[in-house]
Structure 1
Amino acid sequence: MIQEYIASFKVIGISVRTTNENNQAATDIPALWERFMKEEIARQIPNKAGDDIYSIYTSYEKDHTRPYTTVLGCRVTSFDQVPSGMEALEIAAGNYACFTATGKMSEGFVFNEWLKIWSTPLPRKYTTDFEVYGAKAQDPEYAEVPIFIALENE
C-alpha cells in the first residue's frame, strides 16, 4: 500500500445502489459491468479525458458493511453534457491509500484485494473510493487494477 495525494477529477457514468450484505453487491456490480459493456456506455460519454474505466464506490450509508452506490464511468473534462440516465460525479481531492490488485480476471483478484482492504486498519473517510481499469487491466492472465481508498486527512 502506498499513500498519495489525488487531485479532484470528474466522472460520468451509470450507477447502482447496493450493499455487501447477503452478497448483494456480488450480483449488482457484475450486472452493472454487463450493462456498461453491452450498451457501450463508454462510447456514449461526452468530453472523455481518456479510455480508462473507473469503478467508484460512494455515498456510503456508514461503512463498507452498509449500502453504498457504485458508479461505472470514464473521466471527463467537463459536466457540460451529461446523457440521460447517467450521472456526473466529482471525486474530491485528498489523500488516498493505493492498493494494487494483480492476478487473473477469472479468479476474482480485485474482490480478493477488497477482502484485504476491509481487514486493514485504515483511517478511511468512506466518501469515495475507486478502481481504475486502464491498459494494465486488459491482460486476462495477469491484470493490474489500482484501488484508491479515501483517507482522513492526518
Structure 2
Amino acid sequence: MNYEIVTLQKKRIAGVSVRTSNASPDMQQKIGELWTRYFREINGRLAGGKGQAAYGLYTNYENGAQGDYDAFVGCEVDGDPAPQEGIRYVTIPAGSYAKFQFHGDVTKDMGIFWKQVWQENLPRKFTCDFEEYSIGMGNGQPTDVAIYVALADFCQSCGMPMTEASQYGTNADGTRNTDYCRYCYQNGAFLADCTMEQMVDFCLDVEKDSGRYTDRAEAKRAMLSWFPELKRWKEK
C-alpha cells in the first residue's frame, strides 16, 4: 500500500466513545452506532468545533491490535470548552504518523482497507490511530478519508523502533540523538557506509532468526515501500 510518513501537531478532539475490540462480533455495529449518535446528538452542540472535518479515533489500546481499545468519534476543538453532558475529550498526540488515503464507500470498504493497513510492516506505537473525514461523507457515495497510524520513535536509518533510552544513538557531544539508533549512529557519525538496499538486506538478515517474517521477498517489498521516507535515505 502507498503511504507517506508525516509529522503532526497535537489535536484536541471532542465527541463520544465506546470500548470494543477487533475480535468482538459486534465491533462494527458499535462503531456504526457511535457515528449515528455523534451526528444526531453531539455534533450540533459543539459550536466551537474547528472546520468541518470529523474524526474516527482508536486509542487506549490494551494489547495492541489484539486487545480492547476505545473507539471515539468527534471533531477538533480549541482547548477544553465548558463541560457538556455526554461529551468526552481526547488528545491526538503530536508525533510521526503513516498517512494512507482511502477513497470509497466507508460503510462497505473501510473495514477491508483497515485490514490491509494492519498487514503493513509498520513500527506502530498504538497510542492513537485515526481517520479524518471531510464534509460530505457517507450516504453510499465515494468518500475521501485520510487515515493516520501512529508510529513509534524509530531509527531514520534502519527503521528499528526505539522504546528505551539505551537504544538511541549519540551526537558528537555525547547527547542523545533522537533520529538514529545506537547500532547505526554513534558520536555524531554513521557506523556503516552503505546504500539503502544494503541496509534493508542487513535488517532482513538480522530479523530472519526472530521469525518476524516468513516470506523474505514480501518483507523486502514492504520495507522498500517505506525506507525511502526515512531521513537518512530521503536526503540521498
Same fold (TM over 0.5): yes
Superposed, 1:4-153 pairs within 5 Å as 4-39=6-41, 41-106=42-107, 108-135=108-135, 137=137, 140-153=140-153
> Taking every aligned residue pair, what percent have the same amino acid on both sides?
30
Describe the superposition over 1:37-64 as per-residue Cα deviations: whole angstroms up to 9, x where unpaired: 222x111124211121100100000112
Between the aligned partners of 1:61 and 1:92, the Cα distance in structure 2 is 17
Letter in structure 2 aligned against 1:20: N
Q: Which amino acid aligns with 1:63?
A: G
Kept after mapping to 1: 8 A contact 2:106/2:138 = no
AA paired with 2:28? A
Number of equivalent positions: 152
Distance (whole Å) between structure 2 residues aligned to residue 67 and residue 4 of structure 1:
27
CA 1:3–1:88 in 2, change beyond 3 Å: closer, same or farther?
same
- Tell me if the contact between 2:58 and 2:71 (Cα under 8 Å) persists in the aligned partners: yes
1:139: Cα distance to partner? Answer: 7.6
Gaps of 5+ in 2: 155-236
Whole-Å separation in 1 of the counterparts to 2:38 and 2:64: 26
* More strand per residue: 1
Shift of 1:24: 2.8
- C-alpha distance in 2 between matches for 1:47 and 1:136: 20
Structure 2 residue identity aligned to 1:51: Q
Structure 1 unaligned residues grouped into runs of 5+: none
Structure having the higher Rg: 2
Separation in 1, partners of 2:135, 2:86: 27
Give the AA of the match of 1:148.
Y
Amino acid at match of 1:95: S
Check the 8 A contact 2:97/2:151 in 1, yes or no: yes
Alpha-carbon distance between aligned partners in 2 of 1:146 and 1:139, rounded to the nearest angstrom: 18
What CA RMSD, in Å, does the superposition of the two structures yield over aligned residues?
1.6
One-letter code of the match for 1:102? H
Does the residue aligned with 1:21 lie in a helix, a strand or coil? coil
The aligned amino acid for 1:49 is: K
Deviations 1:60-80 (A, max 9, x none): 001122100011101001203
